[in-house]
Structure 1
């Protein structure tokens, strides 16, 4: 039996005006639910913004996307599984194409490395949206139990 050591969480981009503590606390909940010893957070886009929507303004050029790939690639090589948590909303403008390219690249790397991947509610929802989703889907359950039920393994065809 192999033990589960590292869950790699792929977020959107670093925060510019918050500590990200709420996101990290939610990631810790998932780490415990899935039984991993540790979790590591990387981002699809390297440049920080106040909200993930900031990728629309900052992500029109490839620089922030390509810079993120170096860290993602490094962390994928030591991960035992991946949690997709970069958000379900696409950026607008030229950033949308870079975002799609980045997600396709990430999916190819996950598949090539044979890593199982997870998400919440059948989508790469950002941790800030998990409670809203679980409250709608499981209104009679506390957040922890609802999150456990909302976590699902992602098939690569998705």
Structure 2
């Protein structure tokens, strides 16, 4: 793991690329609202969301079944690479739980590929609470860690940046 630096000094303008798990089968409004809050806290002009896995599931746990074949993982790579090319920074938000079974192997390979692509571009990387927590879990995490603090303030504290140790 990389050491972390609190998000007390916003990075810059440009596009914050948020890496999610996979497309939702619902409206995804909670994720979009949280993405906007992270964009605001980190002081970016806009955000974009792309996913590690290309096939929609109702819950991220559905990736364990849908992700058995490498197709949904490999199909996501062109969109990820294109989005990384236009990004100013990355926020990892694909969740802390890996899928199970055969999909877990594909997930590990996809994360390794993603990290390599991020490193190749030299992009700064952010996450919540030292992990790639999914935006739908940010409130739960921040409330547990900072129970007496308003969500947006707690999110500001919880958003941390990797510092590459080369």
Cα offset, 1:155, TM superposition: 3.3
Alignment equivalent of 1:104, drawn from 108, 112, 116: 112
Contact 1:31 1:37 in 2 (8 A): yes
Alignment equivalent of 1:131, drawn from 139, 143, 164: 139
| Structure 2 residue aligned with 1:140 | 148
Q: Flag the structure with more relative contact order, 1 or 2, with Cα contacts below 8 A and sequence separation at least 6.
A: 2
TM-score of the superposed pair, with normalisation by structure 2: 0.91
Tell me, in whole angstroms, the C-alpha distance in 1 between the residues paired with 2:158 and 2:68.
33
Q: What CA RMSD, in Å, does the superposition of the two structures yield over aligned residues? A: 1.1
Structure 1 residues 154 and 3: CA distance shift in structure 2, 3 A? closer
| Structure 2 residue aligned with 1:86 | 94
1:12 corresponds to 2:21 = yes
Cα offset, 1:156, TM superposition: 4.3
- Post-superposition Cα deviations, 1:42-68, rounded to whole Å, max 9, x if no partner, equal 000000000001100000111000110
Equivalent pairs, count: 155
| Structure 2 residue aligned with 1:117 | 125
Structure 1: gaps of 5 or more residues: none
2:16 match: secondary structure: strand
Structure 2: gaps of 5 or more residues: 1-10
